[in-house]
């Protein structure tokens, strides 16, 4: 499905802590390639080089990145505002984006941006983010952030992958509850981008089809509105021409 400008719907993909955009791309490649074949997927690297050991050392080559830093309780954050500014600048310069896909820290950050935009805190000139794929994401725990980002149910169409053995299982469920009518896909694995069985693949495929169908309706409405505006403009030109002819 293509957007109003004839291009595929564009998805910004944010990786997990101390990994990279290239690694997230490899993780997602475990899924049926047809799932996101109708989207333009942009895998971005974090703003900051990894400040410590990465869990994927020896598994995937460096460099590794992180979006921001945090304390053990995940209640205090360093460089978060700088990271948000970095992402907003990137989104504005390279968008518009229709949605986000994120793993762990990337999913947590994506949900924050969507919630902030819905409350008019940022990306005011950017079209509303319409869809979100969350894998092992969670909410921020600072009340000053929560009171804004999750103030109201977030309306972006969302799907949340939650692992039975994930140490972020409960926080992931809490994040899903911040969205309006979220689809939750559970898997038996831990804190990872899971391999999808036939049922999970079917659930995600149906969700994608709903997104594309909704987008098609939106484009149709956009075309009708554009046609109406053109007809009004043509009528005004014709009226002006008739006025000149009668003068």
Q: What is the pLDDT of residues 20-66, one digit of tens each?
A: 999 999 999 999 999 999 999 999 999 999 999 999 999 999 999 99
Q: What pTM did the predictor assign? A: 0.85
Distance CA 204, CA 209 (A): 9
Rounded Cα gap, residues 141 and 241, in angstroms:
63
pLDDT for res 232: 52
Domains of the chain, by residue range, sit at: 9-201
Q: What is the pLDDT of residue 52?
A: 95
Task: Categorize the per-residue pLDDT at 4 as very low, low, confident or very high, splitting at 50, 70 and 90.
Answer: very low
Q: How confident is the model at residue 110 (pLDDT cuts 50, 70, 90)?
A: very high
* Average pLDDT of the segment spanning 148-170: 97
Calculate mean pLDDT across residues 143-156: 96
Q: Which residue has the tokens 């869809």?
A: 131
Banded model confidence at residue 163, pLDDT cuts 50, 70, 90: very high
Name the more confident of 157 and 229: 157
pLDDT band at 235 (very low <50, low <70, confident <90, very high): very low
Q: How far apart are CA 76 and CA 183, in angstroms?
A: 29
* Tens-digit pLDDT profile for residues 185-218: 999 999 999 999 999 999 999 999 999 987 655 4
Q: Which two tokens stand for residue 192?
A: 């990872």
- Contact yes or no for 101/11 (Cβ under 8 A): yes
- Farthest CA pair distance, the chain: 83
Q: Using alpha carbons, select from 158, 160, 190, 186 the residue that is nearest to residue 172.
A: 160
Calculate ∠ Cα 70-71-74, nearest 5°. Answer: 75
| Cα dist from 47 to 19, 25, 92, 140, 217, whole Å | 12, 17, 16, 19, 36
**Total length of the chain:** 247
Burial class (CB in 10 A: 0-12, 13-18, 19+), 183: middle
- Predicted confidence at residue 1, as pLDDT, reads 42
Q: H helices of the chain, where?
A: 21-28, 80-94, 105-118, 143-149, 169-176, 198-246
- Residue 178: which residues within 8 A CB-CB, separation 6 or more? 111, 115, 139, 149, 150, 153, 154
Could you give the percent of the chain with pLDDT greater than 90? 82
Give the architecture-level CATH label for domain 9-201: 3-Layer(aba) Sandwich (3.40)
Bigger pLDDT: 224 vs 102: 102
- Residue 62: exposure state from Cβ atoms within 10 A (0-12, 13-18, ≥19): middle
């Amino acid at each position: 499905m293509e957007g109003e400008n004839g291009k595929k719907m564009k998805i910004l993909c944010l990786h997990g802590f101390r990994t990279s955009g290239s690694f997230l791309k490899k993780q997602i490649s475990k899924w049926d390639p047809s799932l996101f074949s109708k989207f333009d997927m942009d895998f971005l690297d974090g703003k900051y080089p990894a400040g410590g050991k990465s869990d994927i050392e020896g598994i995937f080559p460096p460099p590794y990145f992180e979006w921001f830093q945090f304390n053990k309780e995940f209640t205090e954050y360093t460089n978060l505002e700088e990271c948000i500014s970095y992402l907003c600048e990137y989104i504005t310069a390279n968008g518009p984006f229709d949605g986000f896909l994120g793993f762990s820290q990337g999913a947590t950050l994506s949900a924050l941006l969507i919630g902030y935009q819905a409350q008019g805190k940022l990306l005011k000139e950017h079209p509303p983010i319409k869809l979100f794929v969350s894998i092992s994401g969670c909410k921020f725990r600072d009340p000053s952030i929560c009171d804004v980002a999750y103030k109201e149910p977030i309306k972006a169409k969302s799907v949340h992958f939650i692992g039975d053995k994930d140490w972020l299982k409960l926080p992931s469920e809490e994040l899903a509850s911040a969205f309006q009518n979220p689809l939750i896909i559970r898997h038996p694995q831990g804190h990872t981008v899971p391999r999808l069985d036939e049922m999970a693949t079917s659930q995600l495929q149906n969700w994608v089809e709903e997104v594309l169908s909704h987008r098609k309706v939106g484009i149709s409405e956009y075309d009708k509105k554009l046609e109406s505006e053109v007809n009004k403009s043509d009528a005004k030109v014709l009226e002006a021409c008739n006025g000149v002819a009668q003068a």
